[in-house]
């Protein structure tokens, strides 16, 4: 039994979020991911957010199942070492601004000379084509310009971002999908073709516009923001109970009937205002009022049991503490722990894809910076006397095999 | 040149959003996706939202590059036809509730008997394990229970869903990634192993909790909602100009200096309140006030040009009309049009993954219900006299080859 990507080597030149999320997914799928970090601190996310024993747990959330080496790409020795890495790689992922990698001496042509059939992937804010290709972009700008923010919040509120770096994350998953697809194409084509995949944060988010886009395409209308209401379903949203609010989403009339029965409100079924979805949407406020008055007679946990029993989609609104205390998330192993000989235990998010035969595992805890330099350089056959300026001048311990001393 | 998944056949038993999004991605990557629809209306999304000439453009947004056949899985003939389809398939995707497919006669064992090495994928609200496995779930419930909603909105606001069906979409991309990875494993393993991938809407969203999760894991603290502010960066957010608001996201001190210079506010650089990120976060309100006062002296378009020129990440906040009017989105071809001989033109979202050698294309417009029954049944060798009850009794035109009449 081998993991899906066990035979592939990924050279990862990315930093911060989208690229590292992509390569972590590839590492979770079994690939050997070599994270190439810059001298002077490495991936900036190493310095961000809370951690323990010198390891940022934010970094950890994006960098398990990788090996780390610091290479100064501004130095000739560094570029030579990268070329040697690429010669043995299957995939190269980068999130420099468009053109930077070529200026470092690694044009598309050179990459294919170094390793014919190499799959390459670039991740940027706006993509490699178009008038904004050179603009800097971060998650928030992509949330704003993709239309995503315009769909969040109430009609009277300003457009609202997600608190999560959602465009980094979604583009990272698309990048992984593009890369694995290109590897599959290479494996199943006699000429083992190369491929390049260009991923942008903005287009990734735009691809999720769903009914907001299709409604606009078909009618020319921009749907108003609906907050927690659903524009084409009612009742739907957050409802107060005797203690906590609960989310209820009966998507159609069948589910609405179940809801009315579970709430012991048979009169809803006889009320002509509520007999079709459009009518329930028109009378949303009155309907919500009746439902909430009933829900306030008991607590959230009780109602969640009763509504689920009746087959009505519903649930609590969890914050992060609630999520990881929940029995289902525990059963789904959505937190996992790894142990590192140097910094000890680190807790991370679990795997979203559950493979029955060959599950994802943490083969490696998140790496210390430059942790695997020696073994990587040894395997490349780069001799100790050529490692001097590889990791930048005097900024980091030289990458030498400790057994050689 | 062939598309990455051109040699694969997908049997798609899914409906509504997550599953159809997954299989559309596989179709975009070149797979032959056979969408099996139920009698009595097919995929319910066909009846939803605006459209033209009888084609819902919401449906279209999730169903290009597929062929459609109606099969009544409650009828013996229907189950036999499905078995024949599976015998020639590489992948089966379903989003029934856990256990339903087995009760229809297609247990995991039977599926492998029919097609050894078949890759199967199940998508559900909570996954196949754990106490909530049998609960109904829709996107909104997954947004609530995954922790996602708890990160959106201001500290004083209630938790807020995204207006997009984000958990359907994200789980659909993960499902596609899991399937392509399992196909790659099958291609590269001598024993061509089967695989099953279990995807849940809730775990998919939980996997995106990023710093919200890592902060909680490391400290036990739940970060408060921050609206459009960023908890660890300042200035950051939406700022008013003389006309429209703009999003500005200078992530660190380097970008902050560029911003101050581009705004012609050198005094910001000498102010000790603003010289480090933690200090700028503490004095966020005063800093935002100074910046906004300056921004109000000109319009959004002018500032966006000037700030981008200076290398400061920024941009407009687009609604869907703004997105598709933007020059970059046009350059990225984020809308595409297909033509169907019967219902005519349909406009859809473009492809998020840009492959240089073998780009995704619309090989097939979104199908009419049962459109490809004849050609699919002909290819399976199912004779006309065995097609009688395939599509349900008298509910739909019999699927017969028109050339046979």
Cα-based angle B246, B249, B255 (whole degrees, multiple of 5): 125
Please indicate whether, in this complex, the C-beta atoms of B353 and A143 are within 8 angstroms of each other.
no
pLDDT (tens digit per residue) in B104-116: 999 999 999 999 9
Interface test with B, best of A93, A157, A195, A210 (most B CBs within 10 A): A210
Instruction: State how far Cα B212 lies from the chain centre.
Output: 22
Active site positions of B, annotated: 230
Pick B250 or B202 by higher pLDDT.
Answer: B202
pLDDT category of residue A395 using cuts at 50, 70 and 90 = very low
Instruction: Say if the Cβ atoms of A356 and B196 lie within 8 Å.
Output: yes
Q: Exposed, middle or buried by CB within 10 Å (0-12, 13-18, 19+), for B270?
A: exposed
The reply to whether residue B4 touches residue A209, judged by beta carbons under 8 angstroms, is no
| Average pLDDT score over residue span B12-24 | 97
CB contact under 8 A, B331 and A3: no
pLDDT of residue A403 exceeding 90: no
Rounded to a whole number, what is the distance in Å from the CA of A60 to chain B's nearest CA?
8
Which of these, B164, B354, B373, lies nearest to A175 by C-alpha position?
B354
Closest alpha carbon within chain B to A333: B203
User: CA of B204: which chain A residue's CA is closest?
Assistant: A352
Q: What is the pLDDT of residues B307-339, one digit of tens each?
A: 999 999 999 999 999 999 999 999 999 999 999
- Of A131, A187, A217, nearest to B328 by CB-CB distance is A131
Q: Is B189 exposed, middle or buried (0-12, 13-18, 19+ CB in 10 A)?
A: middle
**Separation CA A45–CA A82 (nearest Å):** 22
- B9-208+331-404 is classed in which CATH architecture? 3-Layer(aba) Sandwich (3.40)
3-class SS shares of chain B: helix, strand, coil, % to 5: 40, 15, 45
Percent of chain B with pLDDT over 70: 97
The pTM score is 0.96
Inter-chain CB proximity B354 and A127 less than 8 Å: yes
Interface predicted TM-score of the whole assembly (ipTM), two decimals: 0.96
Residues in chain B within 8 Å Cβ distance of A207: 334, 349-352
pLDDT tens per residue across span B120-140: 999 999 999 999 999 988 899
**A136-B327-A163-A15 Cα dihedral, nearest 10 degrees:** -30
Q: What is the pLDDT of residue A232?
A: 76
Facing B184 at nearest CB: one of A125, A175, A183: A183
State whether CATH 3.30.1540.10 applies to domain A237-324.
yes
Q: What pLDDT shows up at residue B405?
A: 29
Check whether A227 has a pLDDT greater than 80. Answer: yes
Q: Fold identical between B9-208+331-404 and B245-316? A: no
pLDDT the model gives residue B403: 35
Segment A233-257 mean pLDDT: 92
Residue A396, pLDDT > 70, answer: no
pLDDT at B239 exceeding the cut of 60: yes
Domain boundaries, chain B: 9-208+331-404, 245-316
Q: Residue A40: left (phi > 0), alpha (psi -120 to 50), or beta?
A: left
Phi, psi of B170 (to 5 degrees): -65, -45
Query: Are the beta carbons of A136 and B311 separated by less than 8 Å?
Result: yes
A145/B350 CB distance under 8 A: no
> For B245, which residue in chain A has the nearest alpha carbon?
A158
Whether the pLDDT of residue B402 is over 60: the answer is no
Model pLDDT, residue A230: 82
Q: Which pLDDT tens digit goes with each residue over B334-385?
A: 999 999 999 999 999 999 999 999 999 999 999 999 999 999 999 999 888 8
Higher pLDDT, B21 or B396: B21
Q: What is the overall mean pLDDT for chain B?
A: 93
B297: which 2 tokens? 């002296």
Above 50 in pLDDT, residue B247? yes
What burial class does residue A289 get, using C-beta atoms within 10 Å of its C-beta: 0-12 exposed, 13-18 middle, 19+ buried? exposed
Residue A401: predicted pLDDT: 34
Q: How far apart are CA A141 and CA A148, in angstroms?
A: 10
Give mean pLDDT, residues B148-166: 94
Which residue in the set A185, A213, A335 is minimally distant from B349, CB to CB? A213
Task: Output the average pLDDT for chain A.
Answer: 93
User: B245-316 maps to which CATH number?
Assistant: 3.30.1540.10
What does the alpha-carbon distance between residue A73 and residue A34 come to, in Å, rounded to a whole number?
15
The CATH number, out of the four listed (3.40.50.10300, 3.40.50.300, 3.40.50.10540, 3.40.50.920), of the domain defined by the range A9-208+332-404: 3.40.50.10540
Q: Determine the pLDDT at residue A383.
A: 85
Phi, psi of A143 (to 5 degrees): -60, -40
| Option in A125, A146, A355 nearest B323 (CB) | A146
CA distance A359 to chain B (A): 9
Helix (H) or strand (E) holding B259: helix B253-262
pLDDT band at A285 (very low <50, low <70, confident <90, very high): very high
């Amino acid at each position: 039994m081998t993991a899906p990507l066990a035979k592939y080597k990924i050279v990862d030149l990315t930093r911060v979020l989208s690229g590292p999320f992509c390569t972590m997914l590839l590492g979770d799928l079994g690939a050997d991911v070599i994270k190439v970090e810059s001298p002077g601190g490495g991936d900036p996310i190493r310095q961000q957010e809370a951690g323990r024993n010198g390891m940022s747990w934010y970094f950890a959330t994006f960098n398990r199942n990788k090996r780390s080496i610091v290479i100064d790409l501004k130095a000739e020795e560094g570029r030579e070492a990268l070329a040697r890495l690429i010669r043995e790689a299957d995939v190269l992922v980068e999130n420099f601004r468009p053109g930077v990698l070529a200026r470092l001496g690694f044009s598309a042509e050179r990459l294919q000379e170094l390793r014919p059939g190499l799959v390459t992937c670039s991740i940027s804010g706006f993509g490699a084509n178009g008038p904004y290709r050179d603009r800097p972009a971060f998650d928030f700008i992509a949330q704003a310009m993709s239309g995503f923010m315009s769909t969040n919040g109430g009609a009277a509120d300003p457009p609202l971002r997600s608190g999560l770096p959602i465009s980094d994350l979604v583009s990272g998953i698309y990048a992984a999908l593009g890369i694995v697809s290109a590897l599959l194409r290479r494996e199943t084509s006699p000429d083992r073709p190369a491929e390049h995949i260009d991923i942008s944060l903005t287009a990734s988010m735009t691809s999720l516009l769903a009914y907001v886009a299709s409604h606009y395409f078909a009618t020319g209308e921009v749907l108003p923001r609906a907050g927690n209401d659903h524009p084409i379903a009612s009742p739907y949203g957050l409802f107060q109970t005797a203690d906590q609010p609960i989310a209820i989403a009966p998507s159609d009339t069948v589910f609405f009937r179940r809801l009315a029965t579970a709430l012991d409100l048979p009169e809803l079924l006889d009320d002509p205002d509520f007999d079709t979805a459009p009518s329930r949407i028109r009378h949303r406020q009155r309907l919500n009022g009746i439902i909430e008055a009933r829900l306030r007679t008991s607590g959230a946990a009780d109602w969640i049991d009763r509504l689920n029993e009746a087959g009505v989609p519903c649930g609590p609104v969890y914050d992060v503490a609630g999520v990881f205390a929940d029995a289902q998330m525990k059963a789904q192993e959505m937190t996992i722990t790894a142990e590192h000989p140097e910094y000890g235990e680190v807790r991370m998010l679990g795997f979203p894809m559950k493979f029955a035969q060959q599950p994802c595992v943490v083969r490696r805890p998140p790496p210390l910076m430059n942790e695997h330099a020696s073994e990587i350089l040894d395997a490349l056959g780069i001799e100790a006397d050529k490692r001097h300026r590889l990791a930048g001048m005097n900024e980091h311990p030289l990458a030498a095999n400790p057994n050689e001393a």
